[in-house]
Amino acid sequence: MNRNPKHLLCDSAKIYIENLNERRTWERAALLNTGKSYAEYLSKYPSGQFSDSAEIRKSTIATERAKLNSTAEKNEWTTAKQQHTVIAYSDFLMKYPAGTYAEAAKLLIAELEREAKEGLKVVSNVTAEDVVKGFIIDIGKRNYYSAYMRTRNSYWADYESFSSTDLYGSISNTTINTIRTASETENTATVWTDYVATEAETGDLGFKQSFQLNKINGEWKITSVKLEEKYTLGVPQE
């Protein structure tokens, strides 16, 4: 039995509308010409009439982006090596914590710090208070990797987490107001600090913190930090 002509007309109209919607989605994706726009088209029409073209264009964009990222990283690494400072290598690590040259940057930071220590010819033992003071100064100078190496805190997990803007990567320009050792035993110590720092989003703020340290392999390491108070400058403190 032949189908009702009205039904055939409805089916044709439905197909026409579906094709029109797909074409509009494709035209929008092509106009934006981004990996995301082609991915959105493919999620709606995985077997659509333009799916092959969408896959090719999405892949091409991804390849070109990878090339650009690789070139940018290489250029910044070249600049960091030319400057050859702890700050330059630390800044590089902030941008490319898992990059091609990340391990080399860490090794060069360690080498520069070792040379600096040898140049100072420090005779006395480094105290827990010295470690905390160095930590705060390093953060202020954006020597994040150097600061990280003064710690052994599982909460921070790794350097990438430590230097992220969620933690210390948003802090710079530190000035220590007060620092004192609250308590100390042979292998543990508590150091109390009051310092001013610049936060990326909020500007200058005051921080009162207590640092817990443990002696690990003969060296003091920061194992935890407790924020006692964060205060706005200019507001009288109790």
pLDDT tens-digit map of 175-208: 999 999 999 999 999 999 999 999 878 889 999 9
Whether 99 and 106 have beta carbons less than 8 Å apart is answered as no
- State the pLDDT confidence band at 25, using cuts at 50, 70 and 90: confident
State the pLDDT at residue 185: 94
pLDDT of 11 over the 80 cut? no
Mean pLDDT of 100-118: 83
Half-sphere exposure (Cβ direction) of 66: Cα atoms closer than 13 Å? 7
The confidence score (pLDDT) of residue 117 equals 66
Q: Are strands 203-216 and 188-199 parallel, antiparallel or unpaired?
A: antiparallel
Cβ contacts of 110 within 8 Å, gap of 6 or more: 149
Mean predicted lDDT score pLDDT of the chain: 84
At 42-92, the pLDDT tens digits run 888 888 888 888 888 888 878 777 776 688 888 899 998 888 888 888 888
Rounded to the nearest angstrom, the gap between the alpha carbon of residue 44 and the centroid of all alpha carbons in its chain is: 33
Please give the share of the chain, as a percent, with pLDDT higher than 70: 88
The answer to whether residues 168 and 195 touch, using CB atoms and an 8 Å cutoff, is no
Among 97, 91, 99, which Cα is nearest to 71's?
99
pLDDT score for 3 = 52
The predicted pLDDT at position 226 comes to 94
CA-CA-CA-CA torsion for 191, 135, 94, 163, nearest 10 degrees? 0
Question: Domain ranges in the chain?
Answer: 1-58, 68-123, 127-232
Quick one: pLDDT at residue 20? Answer: 83
Task: Specify the pLDDT at position 5.
Answer: 54
The residue with greater pLDDT, 103 or 235, is 103
The rounded percent of the chain whose pLDDT value lies above 90 is 26
C-beta of residue 105 within 8 angstroms of C-beta of residue 148:
no
- Confidence bin at 9 (pLDDT 50/70/90): low
- With CA atoms as reference, report the closest residue to 132 among 227, 229, 222: 222
Q: Mean pLDDT highest for which of 41-50, 144-153, 178-187, 225-234? A: 178-187
Q: What pLDDT score does 118 carry?
A: 64
Which of the listed CATH numbers 3.30.565.10, 3.40.1190.20, 3.10.450.50, 3.40.50.970 matches domain 127-232? 3.10.450.50
Please tell me the distance from the alpha carbon of residue 34 to that of residue 57, in angstroms, as a whole number: 8
Q: Quick one: which of 176, 192, 183 has its CA closest to 227?
A: 192
Tell me the whole-structure pTM to 2 decimals. Answer: 0.55
Q: Are strands 171-184 and 219-232 parallel, antiparallel or unpaired?
A: unpaired
- The torsion region of residue 33 among left (phi > 0), alpha (psi -120 to 50) and beta comes to left
Whole-number pLDDT of residue 1: 43
